[in-house]
Structure 1
């Protein structure tokens, strides 16, 4: 795995174009990150209930400053899109929050106005050049830039892309189930999914879905009914983009602890353990959606059935 180094713990205002163009090569597959936002979020005990204060305080020496602020008790998260260049195509993994959204249940996202197309351009991607958009699951901070408002209407941001969405999430959050995601779930589906469906660009998948010879989507339910991961394999390198199976690295140490946003915490824990077991056994680079700092890590099995952090990836540290 060939990597360049950069400092990923700064605010968006401090990031330079050089920072945003660092990449990692996994065999013939190139990976870059485009950051929409980074900063303090929920308290640790609220984000990952059941972990206990000792889980955070006992690991403060390495959780701070990238993942946790000991003085405030707040976690540090990042909203980012992973850009993958594979088999001659440009693939985006999740699309952040978006601008101008009605998100009354999520104050941080409500009527947000931020820059995303700028960071995307900084890694050399124009919207019309995107071939595939992956939504690992249908939450507000993973589908927002699927669309943008033009003349009062929501239209696909990436006009030439195929959008891949887990069928189980489309059903659960969409009209087919009466929008079981609640009022905000209805809004998310209406402004970020339905316009893509009307354009004919939406592809619903279930089980597994192969994108090309290097990329495969795999169901990993629990966080949402259709929550999924993306596996990358090229040459001797392997990675797994795990979406929101991990919100914090403390969940590597305590995989039974799901986030407060998980629809089915027990099922999410089962999926998390399965993904971590395979990652440890196959030496896969684990790439979560919201980790700041290095953004990716390798894990190892520990005695007693647990896991530890083998190393952090150098590419974005």
Structure 2
């Protein structure tokens, strides 16, 4: 991923929620109930304010300021976007699934905000009930630095799989794309410390995902969402007639509900990314499906409702029963 001129951030206190986010679990780990599934948000770090203008340069303060429902949770008083790094963890059909693994600790990164991060991510994951050795599947929505970092952790001079009993899943399309491009050194470094070690340990599975998606375990389906990267997926969760969708990076921020054509500076195919957003938002609009944003700050989740030709996110509080 291209790097941004961001300052190092020391804010790793993400167990709390902001205005309107509601309640969370007794451990401080927010979770939402969908049927009989509890979807836990495992926080890593809030991203610094400079992230928004870099990542979504079209989301100027003037444009953001015209969307009052974004404040105060999704944008600050100066109409600068708020973003975060977190994973989602869920147990479905007896299988324990982690969706994306964030930035990771102690890794050399060109982006100063990600370089040698030191967060309590694994502690929070364990508090949520997902100790690393108990995870069955790690779904990598795509192979970008801030989605694969906790794939591995340091053991001496080596990087070893953090989830030794899990199958790590990414799409064959995603793998083949990165295998065929000339990557810059920063991305090669990320593959060396966070992707190649899980492949070398025999833990990486490449999944073919047709247009209708593919189920990895009952209740958990991968859906193709190309554009940001060629093989990116979103993750659909179903239980007892209720549905949730974890975005990956097909939607970075709720401002894109109002402006689906507003792309990220790191979209590989911006036109395809915009088409994917329009399709996803159109399919969710007016339904009871819970949308969970992979970079949405608290309150993180909500329902998509139509607003003229565009959409609004109506936040859903974490469920204290989870």
TM-score by length of 1: 0.87
Moved over 6 A (4+): none
**Structure 1 CA distance, aligned partners of 2:191 and 2:65?**
39
Q: Tell me, which stretches of 5 or more residues in structure 2 are unaligned?
A: 1-14
Q: Is the alpha carbon distance of 1:184 and 1:172 closer, same or farther for their aligned partners in structure 2, counting shifts above 3 Å?
A: farther
- Residues 170-181 of structure 1 correspond to what in structure 2 (within 5 A)? 170-173=175-178, 176-178=179-181, 180-181=182-183
Greater share of strand: 1
Residues 1:21 and 2:29 aligned together = yes
TM-score (norm 2): 0.86
1:37 to 45, 61, 79: 45
Match of 2:85 in 1: 79
- Residue 96, structure 1, aligned to residue 102, structure 2: yes
2:80 & 2:62 partners in 1: Cα distance? 15
Question: Bigger shift: 193-202 or 36-45?
Answer: 36-45
Which runs of 5 or more residues in structure 1 are unaligned?
Answer: 1-5, 11-15
Q: Secondary structure at the match of 1:119?
A: helix
Question: 1:143–1:21: structure 2 CA closer, same or farther, 3 Å change rule?
Answer: same
Task: Indicate which of 185, 188, 198 corresponds to 2:187.
Answer: 185
Q: Deviations over 1:179-225 (max 9, x none)?
A: x3422221111111111111111011132331122011011111111
In 2, Cα distance between the equivalents of 1:43 and 1:112?
A: 16
Task: Count residues with an aligned counterpart.
Answer: 300
Q: Say if 1:130 and 1:161, in contact at 8 Å, map to a contact too.
A: yes
Q: Return the alpha-carbon distance in structure 1 between the equivalents of residues 52 and 88 of structure 2.
A: 25
RMSD: 2.3
1:279 aligns with 2:288: no
**1:9 matched to which residue of 2?**
18
Contact 1:280 1:301 in 2 (8 A): yes
| Pair 1:49 & 2:57 matched | yes
Displacement of 1:314 in angstroms is 1.4
**Deviation of residue 281 (structure 1)?**
5.3
Q: Deviations over 1:97-155 (max 9, x none)?
A: 01121212x11112222221111112122110001101111111100000111121111
Q: Which one has more relative contact order, counting CA pairs under 8 Å at least 6 apart?
A: 2
* CA drift at 1:58: 1.5
